[in-house]
Amino acid sequence: MIQVRVQSLGLDQTSKAPVVILQEVGGSRILPIWIGPAEASAIAMELAGMKFSRPLTHDLFPALIRGLGGMLTRVLITRVQDNTYFAEMVIRRGDEVFTVDARPSDSIAIALRLQAELFTSDDLLSGTSVQFAEPEEGDDTGLLGAPPAAEQGPEGSGLTPEQLKEHLKKMNPEDLGRFNP
Give residue 146's pLDDT.
Answer: 41
Tens-place pLDDT, residues 99-108: 999 999 999 9
Tens-place pLDDT, residues 6-65: 999 988 888 889 999 999 999 989 999 999 999 999 999 999 999 888 888 899 999 999
Where along the chain do its domains lie?
2-66+119-176
DSSP codes, the chain: -EEEEEEEEEE-TTT--EEEEEEETTS--EEEEE--HHHHHHHHHHHTT---SS--HHHHHHHHHHHTT-EEEEEEEEEEETTEEEEEEEEEETTEEEEEEE-HHHHHHHHHHHT-EEEE-HHHHHT----PPPPPTT-TT-GGGPPPGGGS-GGG----HHHHHHHHHH--GGGG-----
Q: In this model, does residue 153 exceed pLDDT 90?
A: no
CATH number, domain 2-66+119-176: 3.10.690
pTM over 0.85? The answer is no
Give residue 162's pLDDT.
Answer: 61
